[in-house]
Structure 1
Amino acid sequence: MKLLKIAFLSILLSIVSCNDIKTKEVGETEETLMESTPKFKYWNWISAGHKKSDSAYTAHFNKLKSYGIDAVLINTGTDPELLKRLTPLANKAGLEVHAWMFTTNRPGDSIALQHPEWYMVSRSGKSCFVKEDRPYVGYYQWLSPSHPEARKHILSLVEGLAKVEGVASVHLDYIRYPDVYLPIGLLPKYDLKQEEELPDYDFDYSDASVEKFIALHHKDPRKMENPAIDIEWKNFRLNEIKSLVDEAYTIVHRHNKKLSAAVFPYPEMADHMVRQRWDKWSVDMVLPMIYYNFYNEELDWIGYATKQGVVDLEGKATELHTGLFTPKLSPEDLETAIQYAKDNGAKGVAFFDDYHMTEEQFEVIKNSKE
């Protein structure tokens, strides 16, 4: 009997010991995963092409990682083959990869350029298809989210990127209408005054958009005396962008990826300037481009705009990561800007762009890591 009791106790102790080991292993794994996820993420926008060698990209990715960058937003011109080539190189260097794409603005899109009817049209009747009629700059070639075939084309590009193994998210840029109002700091460049919605910069009066709006609201924006004060017309365009984003969200999640987006500084400003109300979108992460100098603001505006976006996203799962324009930031100001983002609730900061960053700026980033 004594021997049986001893054997039973031995087995019991063995089970408890094994469970302790398993618990410890699980705990260590969770702890390791938590440690590998940065508390405050550092992103970097980067453009890529076929000409640079794998070794050159590897060296660049290793450099970014050594200075504290956690994630790269790679613009391949929506080329999934180039993304397939670069993603393993960046992943091997320890970087997350996010597939950065131009969304409604599609400069040089060879498929879209075969379809003039896909393009947005201004209130003055100028189409983004026609080079001489494009607003501000030649690369403003905006597709209408109201045209079913244009929308289908955009979403096919989203899906092509989402299918690439190793990509963390598809990153939507230019997911909006052309600037109704330019940032005030950029107006002198175009010798413009924008104190109201001007016909040449008010889009989209294309047939596809207007016909869809008339079907919903039984009125024609082309015939309105002052379409800027018609709330349904404004809200229609906000919803056209929202629905496009929401469809993209469904697509990328079907491929077990996330959706991120580069947006204007905070939702109320984005609504006013480019028909972009991003706090209402289905999106996992937003990177508001808080380029304070474009708006003739002070450095501390980075904190204000960050906080405004964070507050507008309360109750939603969407993360906010502050975008910084590094060419206009001294190393000292860069350090302060990062701190403003941290202090006002951002989950990280994104830098544009790495190819023009100085070693001093990179050192600031490295030294500011938690």
Structure 2
Amino acid sequence: KRKAVEAYAEMQPSREGELRAVWIHTAFGVSDWGWKKTAQVLSKYGFNAIFANMLWGGVAYYPSEVLPVAGRAEGRDLMAEAVKWCHKYGLEFHVWMVNNYLGSGTPEDFLEKLRAEGRLQRDKDGDELPWLCPSDPRNRAMEKEALLEVVRKYPVDGIHFDYIRYPGASACYCDGCRERFQRDTGIEVRDWPEDVISGPHFADFQRWRREQVTKLVEEVSNEVRRIRPDVKVSAAVFPDWRSARFQVGQDWKLWVERGYLDFVCPMDYTTDPEKFGEWVRMQSIWTEGRIPLYPGIGAYRMTEGGEVLHQVALARELGADGFVIFSYTVRTVQDFFPLLRRGATKERTSPPHRWDWTSFEVPEGLGGHSYSQGDSVPVRVALDRLPKWARKFRAEVVLEKTDGEAKKLGVLKPESPSISTILKPEPGTYRIAVRGWVKKGWWRKERFVSRSPVIRVLTPQEVAEKFPCLGPRPEGGVGVYVNGWGGRAILETLRGEGLPAFPVCELSQDELSSCRVLVLAQPKDVLVWDMKTRGRIRIWVEEGGGLLVTHDAVGYRYLAPIFPEVARGEGRPEGRRWRAVGDHPVCEDLDKVNWNPHSYYDHITLKLGREGVILAVDEGMEPVVAAGKPGKGRYVACGLALGLGADDRDELPEDQERELLVSSVRWLMGDGR
């Protein structure tokens, strides 16, 4: 097996123009090596950068005038040592700060000072957390000055945010957050924190909460570029931007769009290649080629060298611009570095964020830079941001396919620094690459590589799968929200029953106007369920629309109820079976005798409102499905996760769940009394 892994390692090409980096979670270097050997070994194995954890929210490991200095670091300048040896061995040195989280190294007297000043976070129950509150301007100023101090004092190549977030959805709800939220928004919160957790001010608070984290990124980025424009600003972020902005207030896609970051490093720590690939694929769409994407590989979770090799290959194939390994330890060197050196890191190269010299004009496609097979894609490539010291240059423009194929498109040189052409490639994943040299001074030539955003050409089947809402819509049909849990399985089921069902991707007024009935599977992104959206859908139902909601969308946890007068969520038991009750038209053909299992592992029980009618109960005799007629419309609140399997994947509903779904939709369409 070892020989097979070694053979696989030797098959991996050494790619020009990529970041090959590591995170090191200590300011002292690897183990007892010191910084000289730490840098020497990393360079020997073909890496070109290191992210070193030199400061936290409450402690620094170098002489700092902003943060307390760790006892073990007193009398030494570890930052100066690290930068010196990394630069000597050709490595970029990026200073990694653990933001907000205080960890165990913060001196007790400093922690007590922060506590006394009310600068620490509190969870929804009022318990203190060892995290700086991001909304406190004193904390933001301290963290900003700590990073700017580093930029002013040391010749570092970059600063790197980490823990630039909240610890989870349960924070921060301190008194300071309440006061500042009310001041900034003009909203008076009567029931704190319930009104901002699942009450009427949920969406406003979520927006404000994200802004508190973003402010630090924005302010540091602007100041770093003013003080030293050559220093790169980056961040280690959660893999899934959609859930991260809600769970931890980390809106990193926005940071990319606004230009606060020079590159981004999602922490894609998994041993599952399929999950890793899906994360990188989505991240390349979210970044849209605006800045380099360097996925983090969780080598600490892996036991075989082939796992790291495979993820490096996947990252390249899916459009990443390099990789960062977590973390740099003796074990990582022994188990993984020699295999990488056999192929992937065999030849030296420099990271692409050094060469932001090329403009790529690629038109908007189906979504981002995705196109249908047969589409003509006009592109323009120009070397128009070269540094002033660049005397001469020559570069070849090629269309790279992720399997290694390359087609020459043209040549750029001083007398013709741009080209325009029309691409019409076969299905696959591509990038336009500009590879060449720039003359620096009279004799020195510097190699460079710049790459375009990822260009995806899709087959008709792939277009239908990835962009379901592009197809035709039946008049007065049943819209199914496919960005909800189980949504696609519900859509397929209704179509199989001959109902005029079509996919809905947004909850906009235009989408509602095309629906006679809307099936709202529990949204995967809870932030879409804000007051405006709920109000829009409520009016649409009252004017004659039909609405079916599933699981949490009945009004549970972070999703407020849309018709509490009919029903709202109350509990979440696991394993209980259910059955239909009563003589409502929805229940006419359902089994009212036998208990039925449900495909998902839990369901939401309901608290019935004054206008609600129970359609089904569970074995605890608690309501799980209810119906009502708000205004001129009809509404069904279903606590079952229709269309969702126990593994959180879409699964076609069967037997009584299928009957319940179809019967509910037919009633919402106006069939029955």
TM-score tier by shorter-chain length is 0.7 to 0.9
Name which of 92, 96, 104 aligns with 1:96. 92
Structure-2 separation of matches of 1:52 and 1:150:
31
Task: Tell me which protein shows more helix as a share of its residues.
Answer: 1
1:350 alignment partner in structure 2: 324
1:121 alignment partner in structure 2: 122
Structure-1 separation of matches of 2:50 and 2:180:
38
1:308 alignment partner in structure 2: 282
Structure-2 separation of matches of 1:319 and 1:162:
22
Q: Structure 1 152/299 Cα, relative in aligned 2: closer, same or farther at 3 Å?
A: same
Equivalent residue of 1:163, what SS? Answer: helix
Equivalent residue of 1:320, what SS? Answer: coil
2:216 alignment partner in structure 1: 244
> Does structure 2 conserve the Cα–Cα contact (< 8 Å) formed by 1:228 and 1:234?
no
Relative to the length of structure 2, the TM-score reads: 0.42
Structure-1 separation of matches of 2:106 and 2:226:
26
1:268 maps onto 2:242 in alignment: yes
1:158 maps onto 2:147 in alignment: yes
User: How do residues 178-193 of structure 1 correspond to structure 2 at under 5 angstroms?
Assistant: 178-180=167-169
Structure-2 separation of matches of 1:54 and 1:258:
29
My pick for the range that moved more, 110-119 or 219-228, is: 219-228
1:327 maps onto 2:300 in alignment: yes
Question: Can you list the C-alpha shifts for 1:113-150, whole angstroms capped at 9, x where unaligned?
Answer: 4121111111100111xxxxxxxxxxxx2101111111
Letter in 1 for 2:106: D
Structure-1 separation of matches of 2:136 and 2:313:
43
1:44 alignment partner in structure 2: 22
User: How do residues 204-283 of structure 1 correspond to structure 2 at under 5 angstroms?
Assistant: 204-217=172-185, 218-220=187-189, 222-225=192-195, 227-228=197-198, 230-256=202-228, 257-281=231-255, 282-283=260-261
Equivalent residue of 2:295, what SS? Answer: strand
1:363 maps onto 2:345 in alignment: no
Name which of 170, 194, 211 aligns with 2:159. 170
- Aligned-pair CA distance for 1:251: 2.2
Q: Structure 1 269/38 Cα, relative in aligned 2: closer, same or farther at 3 Å?
A: farther
Equivalent residue of 2:154, what SS? Answer: coil
- Aligned-pair CA distance for 1:358: 4.5
1:83 maps onto 2:57 in alignment: no
Once superposed, what is the RMSD of the aligned Cα atoms? 2.3
- Aligned-pair CA distance for 1:156: 1.3
Equivalent residue of 2:268, what SS? Answer: coil
- Aligned-pair CA distance for 1:225: 4.6
Q: Structure 1 76/228 Cα, relative in aligned 2: closer, same or farther at 3 Å?
A: same
Name which of 136, 159, 166 aligns with 1:147. 136
Structure-1 separation of matches of 2:276 and 2:140:
33
Structure with more relative contact order (C-alpha pairs < 8 Å, separation 6 or more): 1
> Does structure 2 conserve the Cα–Cα contact (< 8 Å) formed by 1:48 and 1:76?
yes
Question: Can you list the C-alpha shifts for 1:258-305, whole angstroms capped at 9, x where unaligned?
Answer: 211111013113223322110111111111100124xxxx21221211
> Does structure 2 conserve the Cα–Cα contact (< 8 Å) formed by 1:326 and 1:357?
yes
> Does structure 2 conserve the Cα–Cα contact (< 8 Å) formed by 1:43 and 1:69?
yes
Structure-1 separation of matches of 2:167 and 2:249:
8
- Aligned-pair CA distance for 1:219: 2.9
> Does structure 2 conserve the Cα–Cα contact (< 8 Å) formed by 1:179 and 1:273?
yes
- Aligned-pair CA distance for 1:336: 0.7
Question: Can you list the C-alpha shifts for 1:144-168, whole angstroms capped at 9, x where unaligned?
Answer: 1111111111111111222243211
Equivalent residue of 2:132, what SS? Answer: coil
Q: Structure 1 113/97 Cα, relative in aligned 2: closer, same or farther at 3 Å?
A: farther
- Aligned-pair CA distance for 1:322: 0.4
Equivalent residue of 1:175, what SS? Answer: coil
1:21 alignment partner in structure 2: none
Letter in 1 for 2:324: A
> Does structure 2 conserve the Cα–Cα contact (< 8 Å) formed by 1:299 and 1:337?
yes
Equivalent residue of 2:52, what SS? Answer: strand
Provide structure 2 residue ranges, at least 5 long, that are not aligned to the other structure. Answer: 1-14, 63-76, 348-673
Letter in 2 for 1:310: S
Q: Structure 1 209/49 Cα, relative in aligned 2: closer, same or farther at 3 Å?
A: same
> Does structure 1 conserve the Cα–Cα contact (< 8 Å) formed by 2:23 and 2:328?
yes
Structure-1 separation of matches of 2:225 and 2:88:
24
> Does structure 1 conserve the Cα–Cα contact (< 8 Å) formed by 2:299 and 2:332?
yes
Question: Can you list the C-alpha shifts for 1:200-226, whole angstroms capped at 9, x where unaligned?
Answer: xx1111122111111133132615356
- Aligned-pair CA distance for 1:174: 0.5
Q: Structure 1 228/276 Cα, relative in aligned 2: closer, same or farther at 3 Å?
A: farther
1:190 alignment partner in structure 2: none
Task: Tell me which protein shows more strand as a share of its residues.
Answer: 2
- Provide the identity percentage: 24
